Structure 1
Amino acid sequence: MNGTMDEAALNEGRATGLRGMVGAWRERAVRRACLLDARLRTLAAEPEEGAATAEYAVVLVAATGFAALLVAILKSGTVKTLLTDIIKQALNV
């Protein structure tokens, strides 16, 4: 009978240990699920937080390129002559 009691105690200890491990796993899973939920809610609240900055940067680069193109065109001899003629005509009126 003593061997049967030791076996029962051993089986109960295993069951308790297994329950404890499952409980710990469950607790970790719940904690991670809460953290994931918090991250997803944060992303859903502000999905395009950095998009405006990137868009401004692209617009500034495009505007700078366009300005450089205009300066190059306006410095050409043909355009200078054309603009000078327009101004002379305007002053003669």
Structure 2
Amino acid sequence: MSDVLPINADGPAGLFTGTKQRMMDLYVRGSCELYGLDAKLRALAAEPEEGAATAEYAIVLIAATAFAGVLMTVLKSDAIKTLLTNIVKRALNVG
């Protein structure tokens, strides 16, 4: 077994050549990840029910559309048409 040390022409030779740079790179990468996670958590904490409001709007829209469909079906029936026509005729005859 030989104890060969890497040669670094730009700086000191040894086992820890470049270790400081690698550690700094890891620190910077970790800091960026940590800041990104912190920003996401702060955004979620600021408006925790944003998605709930969107879901509520969707449910209301579905219910309103279903109600409009039922109302249109009822209003197109012959009995309702006759009833509404008679109401309008009476109103016109009164005035």
Q: TM-score range by the shorter chain?
A: 0.5 to 0.7
Secondary structure at the aligned position of 2:50 is classed as coil
RMSD between aligned residues: 2.7
User: What is the match of residue 13 of structure 2?
Assistant: 10
Q: Distance in 2 between matches of 1:16 and 1:27?
A: 19
Q: If each structure's helix is expressed as a fraction of its own residues, which one has the higher value? A: 1
Cα displacement (A) at 1:66: 0.9
Runs of 4+ aligned residues of structure 1 deviating over 3 Å after TM superposition are: 78-81
Mind listing any 5+ residue stretches in structure 2 that lack a counterpart? Answer: 1-6, 88-95
- The aligned counterpart of 2:74 is 73
| Structure 1 unaligned blocks of 5 or more | 1-6, 88-93
C-alpha distance after superposition, 1:60-93 (max 9, x if no partner)? 2321221221221133224456x57xx7xxxxxx
2:22 counterpart letter in structure 1: M
TM-score, normalization by structure 1: 0.58
**Equivalent residue number for residue 40 of structure 2:** 39
With normalisation by structure 2, the TM-score equals: 0.57
Question: CA separation in 2, counterparts of 1:72 and 1:15?
Answer: 81
User: Equivalent residue for 1:55?
Assistant: 56
AA in 2 matched with 1:34: Y
Paired letter, 1:10: A
CA distance in 1, matches of 2:76, 2:13: 94
Amino acid at match of 2:63: A
Instruction: Kindly state the Cα deviation for residue 35 of structure 1 after the two structures are TM-superposed.
Output: 1.7
Percent identity of equivalent pairs: 51
